Structure 1
Amino acid sequence: MTNAGDSSGGQPHDALFRLVFTDPENAGSELRSVLPQELAARIDLDGLVLQEGTFVDEVLRHRQTDVLFATTVGDRDAYLYVLIEHQSRPDPLMAFRMLVYQVRIWERHLAERQPESGGRPLPLIVPVVIYQGRRRWSAATDVAELIDIDTQVAAAAGRLVPRFGYLLDDLTVVDDAQLRQRPLSPAARITFVMFAHAPDDPDVTRWLTEWVDDLSAIDRRRLEGVFQYLVRVSVTPVDNLVRFAGKLGPEAEEIAMTTADQLIAQGHDKGRTQGRAEGRAEGRAEGRAGLLLDMLAVRFGDLDADLRSRVEHATTEQIAVWSARLVQGAATIEEIIE
């Protein structure tokens, strides 16, 4: 599967992709969307089993992430191989790379399983590339298109010209309405929405409201992954994200605040929290104080000057305690700040 942009060397995209698509249910929902209907009906998409390891070359792992699932077609072994590319432009050698990866899968299969006598030794592999870049996919989808011969030589060579294709899901030509119509799991759909819209967006909350139903259906672990991705690849102020999360409910609000706090501590806030001198303890306290004040205002309305001053001059430890009381459902400001 491929993704828009090269932010953080592809790492935020890689983390969200693996978090979501190593789950058989989420991967299966995407495969149902892209496989030919007749083929999908013959593959056991409900019995996908994630396989360990990667087949991507070491030098390409900053821009490519892959997952492999074992399954069956009828009573025969089969594999479904899904790859995401973190480049913003199509890779002209993708057909060749996918062929190399498929050969590696076959080699591992043969090393692990003794072929039955008289049977065909190689299982079916269905390779899928999903692309969400800045321009439409234009690279070859069959290795035959990469062979440097003219049409007359190709005709004379016949079967000597190797053919190997892969399924391409070019998300640059799929709009939001079409994405909603696909039989995707909520986590898979939200992941594609993130990849398409979030990188470098100054305020993702403008369009996040359109995806509340899917966000509300995601489990806590993957919702954490979504908020981590948003903080790292967009330039949306953290307090905007936390306010939006409050619309999803107390748990989502807690997740957003915790994520913001963790990433601020790690230096990934990219200047989103006002007044924080990066890497300095007093800066972190000021940033967390501003975030807490914003959340108190969302919950309780306008805050008096004395309360604001008390929070602004609090230590990091005090703010952490007060923030915990807020997300744990304290009913009044007095219960939060004693």
Structure 2
Amino acid sequence: MDHDQSYKLLFSHAEMVADLLRGFVREDWVQQLDFDSREKVNGSYVADDLREREGDVIWRGRWGREWLYVYLLIEFQSTVDRYMAVRILVYLGLLYQDLVRTGQLAGEGRLPPVLPIVLYNGNPRWSAPIDIADLIVPVPGGLETYRPRSRYFLLDEGRYAESELAPLRNLAATLFRLENSRTPQDVERILAALVTWLRAPEQSSLRRAFTVWLKRVFLPGRLPGVELGRINDLQEVQSMLAERVTEWTEEWKRQGRLEGEAALLLRQLEQRFGPLNEADRTRVSRADAETLLHWGERVLTAQAIEDVFDL
């Protein structure tokens, strides 16, 4: 299970979407949204091209007398997509086209409002334009009138500091805190709060979704090769982490050093040979310490990037 699929599972729960909007979309209209009316949009509302996007989640809720759609576009990638605004415009067009086809329209046959959200948890920090108009060459003399405008709401998890997130009793904030955590002790502390918040029997499905994400995505990413055993509940994750915190702290530090060495090599390669393609970045990020050292020794004398990787 990859990040996109596990996030889709988490944000298929109404509580997660509500907390995401309340905690991070700090705009007046959110206060007027009827959260009790939340509905997850099923495949019958969505065009075939959208249904193929496994990482996306679409909800709708009442806003006054009308429906408002929340299109949650979940993106996990190691590089920033400069043309994300173009993709958003296409997805919104397909969604609106399907709403017209199925008659899911507001009063007087108008289209409902849609909030497109890009949820990003990659490195480096997101720097792409959030409005498609900023990607189009401006032409004066009247032609600028026809330049489309379409913005998306960006949630770059890595931009939030612990001091901003920790005071929030908010499930989405807790997810971001776990993603941004630096030590097993941080994870243990955040998990303790999460276990307390999700004690109610009616929250068992969401508790299970967090457990699946921790077991299959988060912990394997932080502690590759570490046997996690049979874990079926958040409480078991917390207990296991507490029992093995010393062992995991050393492994966490080793992984941190390895990530630092990989980041240093990437900077050296880009300074010498210019921007790297995705395949080369992935190759570096997955290399072991001995390989990174060997490649690092070749950077200064290599004439081309192929010479660095030629073992």
Distance in 2 separating the partners of 1:249 and 1:133 = 28
- Name the stretch that deviates more: 42-51 or 89-98: 42-51
- CA RMSD across the alignment: 3.3
* 2:4 counterpart residue number: 14
**CA shift for structure 1 position 211:** 0.8
Residue 223 to residue 252, structure 1, CA distance change in 2 (3 Å): farther
Alignment partner of 1:179 is 2:165: yes
**CA shift for structure 1 position 39:** 1.4
Residue 37 to residue 222, structure 1, CA distance change in 2 (3 Å): same
* 2:209 counterpart residue number: 222
**CA shift for structure 1 position 13:** 0.7
* 2:302 counterpart residue number: none
**CA shift for structure 1 position 107:** 1.3
Counterpart amino acid of 1:213? A
Alignment partner of 1:189 is 2:173: yes
**CA shift for structure 1 position 214:** 2.9
* 1:232 counterpart residue number: 220
Residue 250 to residue 181, structure 1, CA distance change in 2 (3 Å): closer
Residue 52 to residue 195, structure 1, CA distance change in 2 (3 Å): farther
Alignment partner of 1:43 is 2:27: no
SS in 2 for 1:87: coil
Q: Does the 8 A contact of 2:19 with 2:170 survive in 1?
A: yes
Q: Does the 8 A contact of 2:184 with 2:241 survive in 1?
A: no
* 1:164 counterpart residue number: 150
Residue 154 to residue 163, structure 1, CA distance change in 2 (3 Å): farther
Distance in 1 separating the partners of 2:141 and 2:170 = 42
Q: Does the 8 A contact of 1:56 with 1:65 survive in 2?
A: no
SS in 1 for 2:220: helix
The equivalent position to 1:148 in structure 2, one of 128, 137, 157, is 137
Distance in 1 separating the partners of 2:211 and 2:3 = 14
Q: Does the 8 A contact of 1:70 with 1:78 survive in 2?
A: yes
Counterpart amino acid of 2:159? V
Identity of aligned residues (%): 27
Distance in 2 separating the partners of 1:108 and 1:56 = 9
SS in 1 for 2:67: strand
After superposition, where does 1:47-62 map in structure 2 within 5 Å?
A: 47-53=37-43, 61=53
Encode CA deviations 1:29-79: one digit per residue, 9 max, x unaligned: 001123233111122233211112477968x95xx7211001122101220
Encode CA deviations 1:281-337: one digit per residue, 9 max, x unaligned: xxxxxxxxxxxxxxxxxxxxxxxxxxxxxxxxxxxxxxxxxxxxxxxxxxxxxxxxx
With normalisation by structure 1, the TM-score equals 0.58
Encode CA deviations 1:223-260: one digit per residue, 9 max, x unaligned: 42122223432225646x67xx8xx756865999xxxx
**CA shift for structure 1 position 197:** 4.5
Distance in 2 separating the partners of 1:191 and 1:55 = 30
Aligned length in residues: 228
**CA shift for structure 1 position 126:** 1.0
**CA shift for structure 1 position 112:** 1.6
The equivalent position to 1:33 in structure 2, one of 16, 20, 23, is 23
The equivalent position to 1:129 in structure 2, one of 107, 115, 118, is 118
* 2:255 counterpart residue number: none
Moved over 4 A (4+): 54-58, 248-256
* 2:300 counterpart residue number: none
Q: Does the 8 A contact of 2:178 with 2:190 survive in 1?
A: no
Distance in 1 separating the partners of 2:59 and 2:116 = 11
Counterpart amino acid of 1:193? R
Residue 89 to residue 183, structure 1, CA distance change in 2 (3 Å): farther
